[in-house]
A and B are shown apart, each in its own frame.
Chain A
């Protein structure tokens, strides 16, 4: 065998010649996940929200965690995703995704190889191919890309994905896969029902042998943001109203008694940020509230059933302190915030926030999804119910889900697969993508640049099902 001499440099073709690490991009409503295939967590998790300041000439955009929490004057916080779970603003979505890839993975575009110093050791000038220089301008010039998409993505949107990847980023190969399939892969399953409760959308996707049953895909807006909204309504309808002040408004807080009005010193801004900024910052407080106070009624029965509410009252409350120092113990209210995910009738509603429809709740979604599956396949799917998405981390969410599914299908063996580590629950689709893109067979799946140039963007419909 030819063992390389340790003291000599290898040929360029000798090492890792055919092993190019693909980049996996999993865009979501709240965060955009990106990383190298083969790794166990995405290295880059950036907020999908972006900041915008409209100046006279043209709007100024701000990306990344640091920028969007900085209370700049007139700063608006926006999101490129539409309420239907499909990208709406393609221009900025591209920028956000590109930021996710370049800021933490690849770095800014590589310089001209003649000058970037890497070749200094070899010495001597080399011929510069001007075409190669042009390609260098693009961030993904040498990495194949795997992107994830929601199960209900439109044809137009899918074509747009490959266009961005090929035209704007210059990727040599591209593949698109649905989040549901990838989340199932992450749990080592090829078939199952994937319940994904994200920030803006809850979806239920039946997957059979690695293929999404497209007509079975169900989605609804009852997800994390909906729960946040319910908490806002709880605060609003409470007597007296509970003030929600985000951190950036407070200069310093003073300890006050429970329920007493806050005595904080507030900050003043010459030019305050826009309302959307405040709303986004409030969301941080609500996230903390969800993590430390909110609890899903675990069953049996709905929260409103019989004596359940009485039992809940007996539970000890959980204290919560606002950024301005206001604090209170939340007793039975904390069960109400997430109850509407399962029981539309329990939703807190007012004039601006109408009661959700019954068929938007998670049990209804599951029922509708399973109905689309052949009867003989149902037991298989029901024994592989994969739970993913950040909002499934709500305390006791899985207990309740388990109860609801068993109530719907008492005769089958239903099994919930919910990864214990939080990271795996939150990034399941990305992890599945990382597995898929690191397989040897990924080469056979992807659409190469040549194929794209030959067939156009529509090839994505034929190749990525």
Chain B
């Protein structure tokens, strides 16, 4: 068999929310090139699946103009034609954005719908259009059982005729990415959290916490929804709010803006610092949030300054139902009126004295209210289902969209208040790239609820899972190293402040502080009386009795070695008879953690550095693929080859998995 080359290797990482994949390893490892939603749509024929929603359309217009999302661009080129319409009049079209009626085959890390999952993998595979002789490395979720590994092996060999196939545990892949042999990997996914202790490159299978439900990104969305439901928010809005930079998890004990009485003073005393460190939408965290929100097409961080509480959206958040009910025109008319009123009010406001607190831009965590752009997919779906025809849809969209196009017009009119550099930048960007077929955007304002995504106890549950995982590692002496090498990854942890808040919970609940009882004095064994000034009862080395004792003051020795038994000289401490010198076997006796640290992410992959390491498992898989397929050529049984499969069948995969 010819050796594998870099450009032939396929890596696939299926996830509950997003599946990423790549064909070929570049010179410097890059984030995955192909990024798809992990969902499929049932086709008309039962048992078949389509990657996008397919609608019937009655008019005879050609295909819709190309959508603008990054996602759509990526997949446009591999769009398959759907076959000719069998009836005249009926035209089918693919809708690359809609999620209506989608089936998500992976839930909480488990594969729940195998036909759909296989269809998804097939779609991913075809999307990459690989040549022959492509080895495949699949990143396996911890929730997959050995039997399921066999099933996957069978599928890959028999469906794709792949010459070599490898399975890699996602936690192990993450630790490869970070280049550490021992680590605690906390993978925050969509519906679940996995916590795995990896020690010496071996995932600790027995004690790992698999698929801890109600803790992933979805739980955070639900947390927001619980807080905001009364204000008319729906799940979709909360989801987008969560991905926006204004949504943040504050460390426990931080007062919410508007409730903490001191929140204003900081900015007054040190406005420069506040402006430079906390400016929303400009920090690295926010930047990465913008750059790679998984399905956030052009998500710009509209942290406008209109925090003065205009309630235009209150009560009419659910535009979709209004439109569906045929009242769109009424709604539009009302909106227009409101807008004029507002503009008039603003004109007046310019003459009024500017509020004194205005000049300093408060950091997000200090603001009581903030706004974000909501992309109303439901509304778009509703419009599409109304069979308006593309012209009609475009018109309706234009009327309903409050997105950046409108804004820039407003700005030209000079009626709206001046915008910050960030805003202006964001809106021009979006305005040039956005076309009329983009999603319908509306501005929505939220209050302090945006800081309360994790108020349902998500962080405590994850922290407890970490504690349980590490406590279940049998080698007691490995535990402190595991605590010192935490890795938090997964797209669910992307929300601003998540990692720091989790660390704060761990520190406040589990960190063992040095006991005041173990300072020098209390270490003196109680059977030694305190040395008197005369020196009469200062212990003397008793050579005759114990033999071979050192000439060091035994008291000092006892005190300094008590906590570190391995430091004791062989042969036993003269003061502590009866204590065998077998301490070396038990040197790390004691509670953990005495310190908790994150592992520093690797710095030698510039492309990854830009987007963050939330998908570090993929980076690890790239490293591993390079090692097992190219460098090592199968010597260490990192993958299964076709002849191996023919010999051993699917069950053989257990001998080859990393």
**Residue on A with the closest CB to B476?**
A291
Query: Given the complex, which residues of A lie within 8 Å of B579, measured CB to CB?
Result: 315
Query: Given the complex, which residues of B lie within 8 Å of A42, measured CB to CB?
Result: 206
The digit string for A248-262, where 1 denotes a CB below 8 A from any CB of B, is 101111010111000
Query: Given the complex, which residues of B lie within 8 Å of A21, measured CB to CB?
Result: 651
Query: Given the complex, which residues of B lie within 8 Å of A320, measured CB to CB?
Result: 591
Residue among B47, B465, B468, B646 with the highest chain A CB neighbour number at 10 A: B646
How far apart are B462's CB and chain A's nearest CB, in angstroms? 11
Assuming A9-B158, A314-B575, is B517 touching A252 (CB within 8 A)?
A: no
Q: Do the beta carbons of B649 and A4 come within 8 Å of each other?
A: no
Q: Is B59 an interface residue (CB 8 A)?
A: no
The digit string for A375-405, where 1 denotes a CB below 8 A from any CB of B, is 0000000000000000000010001000000
How far apart are B131's CB and chain A's nearest CB, in angstroms? 16
A321 to B118, CA, bound (A): 50
A121 to B154, CA, bound (A): 10
Q: Do the beta carbons of A4 and B647 come within 8 Å of each other?
A: yes
Q: Is B357 an interface residue (CB 8 A)?
A: no
Name the one of A118, A328, A395 contacting B586, with C-beta atoms under 8 angstroms: A395
Q: Is A188 an interface residue (CB 8 A)?
A: no
Q: Is A422 an interface residue (CB 8 A)?
A: yes
The digit string for A309-340, where 1 denotes a CB below 8 A from any CB of B, is 01101111111110101011101000000000
How far apart are B493's CB and chain A's nearest CB, in angstroms? 18
Interface segment among B31-39, B50-58, B230-238, B521-529: the answer is B521-529
Q: In chain B, residues 201-218, which have Cβ atoms closer than 8 Å to a Cβ of chain A? A: 205-207, 209-213
Q: Do the beta carbons of B213 and A66 come within 8 Å of each other?
A: yes
Q: Do the beta carbons of B580 and A298 come within 8 Å of each other?
A: yes
Q: Is A244 an interface residue (CB 8 A)?
A: no
The digit string for B113-130, where 1 denotes a CB below 8 A from any CB of A, is 011011100000000000
A66 to B207, CA, bound (A): 11
Assuming A10-B646, A329-B518, is B651 touching A423 (CB within 8 A)?
A: no
Query: Given the complex, which residues of B lie within 8 Å of A102, measured CB to CB?
Result: 145
Q: Is B552 an interface residue (CB 8 A)?
A: no
Residue among B110, B119, B649 with the highest chain A CB neighbour number at 10 A: B649
Q: Do the beta carbons of B517 and A259 come within 8 Å of each other?
A: yes
Q: Do the beta carbons of A321 and B515 come within 8 Å of each other?
A: yes
A331 to B119, CA, bound (A): 64
The digit string for B455-480, where 1 denotes a CB below 8 A from any CB of A, is 00000010011011001001110000
How far apart are B519's CB and chain A's nearest CB, in angstroms? 9
Interface segment among A109-117, A148-156, A215-223: the answer is A109-117
Name the one of A103, A298, A321 contacting B512, with C-beta atoms under 8 angstroms: A321
The digit string for B239-276, where 1 denotes a CB below 8 A from any CB of A, is 00000000000001000000000000000000000000
A58 to B611, CA, bound (A): 50
Query: Given the complex, which residues of A lie within 8 Å of B590, measured CB to CB?
Result: 292, 318-319
How far apart are A436's CB and chain B's nearest CB, in angstroms? 19
Q: In chain B, residues 90-141, which have Cβ atoms closer than 8 Å to a Cβ of chain A? A: 110, 114-115, 117-119
Q: Is B642 an interface residue (CB 8 A)?
A: yes
Q: Is B516 an interface residue (CB 8 A)?
A: yes
Q: Do the beta carbons of B114 and A323 come within 8 Å of each other?
A: no
**Residue on B with the closest CB to A420?**
B585
Q: Do the beta carbons of A117 and B155 come within 8 Å of each other?
A: yes
Assuming A6-B642, A117-B115, A288-B471, is B513 touching A255 (CB within 8 A)?
A: yes
How far apart are A296's CB and chain B's nearest CB, in angstroms? 12
A69 to B512, CA, bound (A): 21
Q: Do the beta carbons of A327 and B649 come within 8 Å of each other?
A: no
A118 to B145, CA, bound (A): 17
Q: In chain A, residues 1-19, which have Cβ atoms closer than 8 Å to a Cβ of chain B? A: 4, 6-10, 14-16, 19
Q: Do the beta carbons of B468 and A118 come within 8 Å of each other?
A: no
Assuming A66-B213, A247-B467, A253-B508, is B517 touching A319 (CB within 8 A)?
A: yes
The range of chain B's interface size is 35 or more
Q: Is B577 an interface residue (CB 8 A)?
A: yes
Query: Given the complex, which residues of A lie within 8 Å of B563, measured CB to CB?
Result: 316
A107 to B150, CA, bound (A): 11
Query: Given the complex, which residues of B lie within 8 Å of A248, measured CB to CB?
Result: 464
The digit string for A284-298, where 1 denotes a CB below 8 A from any CB of B, is 100110011000001
Name the one of A257, A318, A329 contacting B589, with C-beta atoms under 8 angstroms: A318
**Residue on B with the closest CB to A36?**
B146
**Residue on B with the closest CB to A11?**
B646
Q: Do the beta carbons of A69 and B649 come within 8 Å of each other?
A: no
Q: Is A275 an interface residue (CB 8 A)?
A: no
Assuming A15-B648, A247-B464, A327-B517, is B147 touching A106 (CB within 8 A)?
A: yes
Residue among B119, B154, B209, B515 with the highest chain A CB neighbour number at 10 A: B515
Q: Is A43 an interface residue (CB 8 A)?
A: yes
A310 to B527, CA, bound (A): 8
Assuming A66-B465, A116-B114, is B525 touching A258 (CB within 8 A)?
A: no
Query: Given the complex, which residues of A lie within 8 Å of B642, measured CB to CB?
Result: 6-7
Q: Do the beta carbons of B212 and A66 come within 8 Å of each other?
A: yes
Q: Do the beta carbons of B525 and A313 come within 8 Å of each other?
A: yes
Query: Given the complex, which residues of B lie within 8 Å of A121, measured CB to CB?
Result: 155, 158-159
Q: Do the beta carbons of B515 and A313 come within 8 Å of each other?
A: no
A193 to B159, CA, bound (A): 54
Residue among B118, B209, B580, B591 with the highest chain A CB neighbour number at 10 A: B591
Query: Given the complex, which residues of B lie within 8 Å of A346, measured CB to CB?
Result: none
Q: Is B327 an interface residue (CB 8 A)?
A: no
Query: Given the complex, which residues of B lie within 8 Å of A115, measured CB to CB?
Result: 47, 115
Q: Is A84 an interface residue (CB 8 A)?
A: no
Q: Is B337 an interface residue (CB 8 A)?
A: no
Q: Is A182 an interface residue (CB 8 A)?
A: no
Residue among B110, B464, B582 with the highest chain A CB neighbour number at 10 A: B464
Query: Given the complex, which residues of A lie within 8 Å of B652, measured CB to CB?
Result: 16
**Residue on B with the closest CB to A119?**
B158
Q: Do the beta carbons of B145 and A399 come within 8 Å of each other?
A: no
Q: Do the beta carbons of B525 and A69 come within 8 Å of each other?
A: no
Q: In chain B, residues 436-467, which have Cβ atoms closer than 8 Å to a Cβ of chain A? A: 461, 464-465, 467
Q: Is B2 an interface residue (CB 8 A)?
A: no
A148 to B206, CA, bound (A): 19
How far apart are B502's CB and chain A's nearest CB, in angstroms? 13
Q: In chain A, residues 79-133, which have Cβ atoms closer than 8 Å to a Cβ of chain B? A: 102-107, 110-111, 115-118, 120-122
A122 to B578, CA, bound (A): 73
Assuming A6-B646, A15-B648, is B474 touching A423 (CB within 8 A)?
A: yes
Query: Given the complex, which residues of A lie within 8 Å of B510, measured CB to CB?
Result: 247, 323
Query: Given the complex, which residues of B lie within 8 Å of A4, measured CB to CB?
Result: 643, 646-647
Assuming A329-B517, A422-B474, A426-B474, is B159 touching A120 (CB within 8 A)?
A: yes
A325 to B516, CA, bound (A): 12
**Residue on A with the closest CB to B588?**
A292
Q: Do the beta carbons of A105 and B146 come within 8 Å of each other?
A: yes
Q: Do the beta carbons of A117 and B118 come within 8 Å of each other?
A: yes
A355 to B21, CA, bound (A): 64
Given A65-B468, A122-B158, A252-B509, 5 further pairs, Cβ under 8 A: A115-B47, A259-B517, A292-B476, A316-B523, A327-B513
Tell me the A residues contacting B by CB distance below 8 Å: 4, 6-10, 14-16, 19, 21, 36, 39, 41-43, 45, 65-66, 69-70, 102-107, 110-111, 115-118, 120-122, 247-248, 250-253, 255, 257-259, 284, 287-288, 291-292, 298, 308, 310-311, 313-321, 323, 325, 327-329, 331, 395, 399, 422-423, 426
Which 5 residue pairs of A and B lie closest in terms of their CB atoms, listed nearest first?
A: A258-B517, A15-B649, A316-B562, A252-B508, A422-B474
List 23 contacting pairs A-B, 8 Å CB cutoff, sorted by A.
A4-B643, A4-B646, A16-B648, A66-B212, A69-B464, A107-B144, A116-B115, A117-B118, A118-B114, A120-B118, A120-B159, A247-B464, A252-B508, A257-B516, A284-B468, A308-B578, A313-B527, A316-B563, A318-B590, A321-B515, A321-B591, A323-B510, A329-B517
Tell me the B residues contacting A by CB distance below 8 Å: 1, 47, 110, 114-115, 117-119, 144-148, 151, 154-155, 157-159, 161, 205-207, 209-213, 252, 461, 464-465, 467-468, 471, 474-476, 505, 508-510, 512-513, 515-518, 522-523, 525-527, 558, 562-563, 575-580, 582, 586, 589-591, 641-643, 646-649, 651-652, 654
